[in-house]
Copies of this chain bind each other. A is one copy, B any other.
């Protein structure tokens, strides 16, 4: 298995073998960074970060990953400072940057934008979030965090809570979890349920999927509770939002009463769906989860640039 030269576009593209390999390499990088501030593996290589939408974690962790491997970074964090402001198409911007950099990470508001970029670029393109579409590197770091926090993924019950209709992190995530013997509990208000075709696909592939509106019931069963933001603007009826939102605020009291062993994750940023009194519990894995993004993205960058070969460790 090699990912050299490959684009990373959606969570569904990985085999279980590839997922395990990425996790193992991320583990190795994490261990090495405890002994030294950086490695030389990508010395001289250039990453381009094309961020047409705001980002803190994805952009900064990719840039940190590149620096920790000895590489360099060029790019932009908003489209206003670029020729997009003069009417340049996404394809032309990508073709140009493809002539400068060895690998490209792109975040763009349109679904399918990363795929369009990959079609015109010769170098590997990594999708850093394409609107309501996919966010595959988030799925990978989520999987890595589950493995790191619980020691395994097989056999776990994972509850996904919040906006399952529009949330790209959960859409990418389920395509990764399906390779494992997991039970998924989907917790959302009725208007924000996981799209029916995704649920049907998962079941067709043998994944155990349950749906509920009851967070506490799901929490009681879960090894991992993955919270996401519920966005007020998604509701046609504001009164329904007001009625529901309280049900989806996770508190310290709720964890201690219902399931003191649960691992709590969140892709961040959060607004108020996890009370800050949860932060100091050992259950709160979300800041470790953010940090894991560096190790997983280091693994991806090293793999797509062909600096880690088949069965060969660097």
Query: A residues within 8 Å of B by Cβ?
Result: 36-38, 43-46, 48, 51, 54-57, 60-61, 63-64, 67-68, 72, 74-78, 80-88, 91-93, 95-102, 268-271, 276, 287-288, 290-291, 294
State in angstroms the CA–CA spacing of A276 and B51 once bound together. Answer: 24
Task: Kindly list chain B residues whose C-beta atoms are within 8 Å of the C-beta of A81.
Answer: 51, 54-55, 77-78
- Give the oligomeric copy count: 3
Task: Kindly list chain B residues whose C-beta atoms are within 8 Å of the C-beta of A67.
Answer: 46, 72, 74
State in angstroms the CA–CA spacing of A290 and B94 once bound together. Answer: 12
CB pair A78–B75 under 8 Å, yes or no, is no
State in angstroms the CA–CA spacing of A268 and B100 once bound together. Answer: 15
Closest to A272 in B: B87
CB pair A56–B82 under 8 Å, yes or no, is yes
Task: Kindly list chain B residues whose C-beta atoms are within 8 Å of the C-beta of A98.
Answer: 287
In-complex Cβ contact of A270 among B43, B45, B78, B92 (8 A):
B92
CB pair B101–A64 under 8 Å, yes or no, is yes
CB pair B92–A294 under 8 Å, yes or no, is no
Task: Kindly list chain B residues whose C-beta atoms are within 8 Å of the C-beta of A44.
Answer: 36-38, 68
In-complex Cβ contact of A288 among B36, B68, B99, B269 (8 A):
B99
In-complex Cβ contact of A55 among B37, B43, B54, B83 (8 A):
B83
In-complex Cβ contact of A37 among B46, B64, B68, B290 (8 A):
B46
Closest to A61 in B: B100
Query: When A and B form their complex, which 10 residue pairs have the shortest distance between CB atoms, in order from nearest?
Result: A99-B291, A38-B44, A37-B44, A88-B269, A77-B81, A67-B72, A56-B83, A83-B269, A64-B100, A56-B82
28 CB-based A-B contacts, threshold 8 Å: A37-B43, A37-B45, A37-B46, A38-B44, A38-B46, A44-B68, A46-B67, A51-B81, A55-B81, A55-B83, A56-B76, A56-B84, A56-B93, A56-B97, A57-B96, A60-B74, A63-B74, A64-B101, A67-B72, A77-B81, A83-B268, A86-B269, A87-B271, A92-B269, A96-B287, A96-B290, A99-B294, A100-B294
CB pair B100–A82 under 8 Å, yes or no, is no
Task: Kindly list chain B residues whose C-beta atoms are within 8 Å of the C-beta of A56.
Answer: 76, 82-84, 88, 93, 96-97
CB pair B290–A99 under 8 Å, yes or no, is yes
Task: Kindly list chain B residues whose C-beta atoms are within 8 Å of the C-beta of A64.
Answer: 46, 74, 100-101
Shortest CB distance A285–B (Å): 12
Task: Kindly list chain B residues whose C-beta atoms are within 8 Å of the C-beta of A51.
Answer: 81
Closest to A45 in B: B37
Shortest CB distance A105–B (Å): 13
CB pair B46–A88 under 8 Å, yes or no, is no
Task: Kindly list chain B residues whose C-beta atoms are within 8 Å of the C-beta of A36.
Answer: 44
CB pair A54–B85 under 8 Å, yes or no, is yes
Task: Kindly list chain B residues whose C-beta atoms are within 8 Å of the C-beta of A93.
Answer: 56
CB pair B80–A269 under 8 Å, yes or no, is no
State in angstroms the CA–CA spacing of A45 and B67 once bound together. Answer: 9
State in angstroms the CA–CA spacing of A84 and B291 once bound together. Answer: 18
Task: Kindly list chain B residues whose C-beta atoms are within 8 Å of the C-beta of A63.
Answer: 74
Shortest CB distance A145–B (Å): 12
